[in-house]
Amino acid sequence: MRKILVIGNGDSIFVRDFINQYSQRDCIVDLISLGHQPLLMGVRHQRNCTVNPSFKILNQIHMYRALALSMKAMDNDYDCIVIHFVSFNLAPHIYRLKRKSKKVVAVVWGSDFYRVSSKIKIFLQDIIYANVKNIVFTNAATRDKFSSDKPFIQESKLAVARFGLPALDEIGDLLEHPAYDQWCLNFNVPTNKIKIMVGYNANPAHHQLLVIDKVCELDKEIINAIHLIFPLGYGDGGSGDLIRKKLQEKEIKNYTVLDKFYDFHEVAKLRCITDILINIQPSDQFSGSMQETLYAGGSVIAGSWLPYREIVELGACIYLIDKPEAVGEQINELVVNLDRHESSSLERVKTFIGKASSWSENIRIWDSILFDDTTKNDSAAK
């Protein structure tokens, strides 16, 4: 039986689902989590490494000690160690990890590459990149940018593999027997308004406050026709208060804040009632929430700076804006002309997403990266 150690935020739906997939395939999974969730389903041994935000000066010392103690408590004979999100905090421990497994794999999430500007943090990340066996990206564009920026990292170490999206199957099943009114009732949203989801977690990088400001600049007729949805089930815990305060200040009435963390079945219902998703964060690889929204027949407003060229060229209902401040104009245009079933390319887009992001398609790619001693795997990029 294979045995892997995952190092990442156990609060993340991607980490949880990754663990779930491998634990169901007769694989022992241990977890060093940078989140707060208690023992996750499918995990044998789990250690949480968190810091007290009240003592920022001592955070790095506390994190170093917590990681060191957690690693000491884990086994020394893993088939593979998977770093989910390349945190600079792991650099001082990379040699200890290499002693625990001959195969250490780093999975780049996007924000750990695009949004890191500190030279010290980049230096520490480069130590990790130089010492892992493989570096995984969820799209070829990010891999190529990484390779261009870091020519000292062997290109043979770079691979492309996407995360599977279990919600896709759920969406397909739900749309065969639609219960739209009931789904809306589940989330306390009206059936007769255009539902706009602002981002897909509580991270302020989704520009929720900017979106509220821009919505307020629209004509009252448009404002009355829409209902804003703010999913805050995970991410920055302080964002919810700021968003609610802004909504009250601007006297926005039509909105729902979702504080719960939903399972894939509930997420699928949410995608099926979402007319428009706003995804204008500074960086991303290939957002699962975006794919699920498109798969369910919704539209997406996205930043033109995000690496979505391939799916846009297929005809996906993605409306690109060149700067976050243009989101209001695009909302206005979409609301006036919205038709969920207008796109003639919907089936082509769904086929692409199903192939690109189903676990049945992607698990063999992950297997080859995590367990094979052979090198680079490019099949997900083709």
One domain, residues 209 and 329: yes
Residue pLDDT, tens place only, 164-213: 888 998 999 999 999 999 999 999 999 999 999 999 988 899 999 999 99
CB atoms within 10 A of CB 312: 17
CA distance 9 to 357: 21
Q: What is the pLDDT of residue 112?
A: 87
Residue pLDDT, tens place only, 294-350: 999 999 999 999 988 889 999 999 999 999 999 999 999 999 987 665 567 899 999
Q: What is the pLDDT of residue 64?
A: 93
Residue pLDDT, tens place only, 211-225: 999 999 999 999 999
What share of the chain in percent tops pLDDT 90? 71
CATH code at 217? Answer: 3.40.50.2000
Region for 147 from its dihedrals, namely left if φ exceeds 0, alpha if ψ lies in -120 to 50, beta otherwise: alpha
The helix (H) or strand (E) run that includes residue 256 is strand 255-258
In a domain? residue 326 = yes
Contact 349, 314 (CB under 8 A): yes
In a domain? residue 280 = yes
Here the tokens at position 320 are: 């690109």
The pTM assigned to this predicted structure is 0.76
One domain, residues 113 and 133: yes
Residue scoring higher pLDDT (18 or 115): 18
Q: What is the pLDDT of residue 381?
A: 43
In the predicted structure, residue 89 carries a pLDDT above the cut 60: yes
In a domain? residue 229 = yes
Which of 126, 160, 194 lies at the terminal end of a domain, its last residue? Answer: 160
- Share the mean pLDDT of the chain: 91
Question: What is the domain extent for residue 197?
Answer: 167-356
Strands 80-84 and 2-8: parallel
One domain, residues 175 and 322: yes
Query: What are the C-alpha distances in Å from 83 to residues 29, 51, 104, 122, 299?
Result: 13, 19, 8, 16, 33
Q: What is the pLDDT of residue 55?
A: 60
Cα 218–219–224 angle (5° rounding)?
A: 95
Question: What residues contact 38, with CB distance under 8 A and at least 6 apart?
Answer: 46, 48
What is the DSSP code string of 342-362?
A: --TTHHHHHHHHHHHH-HHHH
Q: Secondary structure of the chain: what % helix, strand, coil (to 5)?
A: 50, 15, 35
In a domain? residue 381 = no
Residue pLDDT, tens place only, 15-74: 999 999 999 988 999 999 998 888 999 999 999 998 765 566 678 888 999 999 999 999
One domain, residues 131 and 237: no
In a domain? residue 194 = yes
In the predicted structure, residue 270 carries a pLDDT above the cut 50: yes
- Over residues 355-372, the mean pLDDT reads 90
In a domain? residue 224 = yes
One domain, residues 119 and 137: yes
- Over residues 229-235, the mean pLDDT reads 85
- Over residues 110-128, the mean pLDDT reads 92
Q: Give the CA dihedral 288, 182, 351, 380, nearest 10 degrees.
A: 20
Here the tokens at position 346 are: 């919907």
CA distance 301 to 321: 7
Which of 160, 178, 209 lies at the terminal end of a domain, its last residue? Answer: 160
In a domain? residue 300 = yes
One domain, residues 116 and 202: no
One domain, residues 148 and 199: no
In a domain? residue 377 = no
Q: What is the pLDDT of residue 193?
A: 96
Query: What are the C-alpha distances in Å from 88 to residues 57, 123, 214?
Result: 16, 8, 36
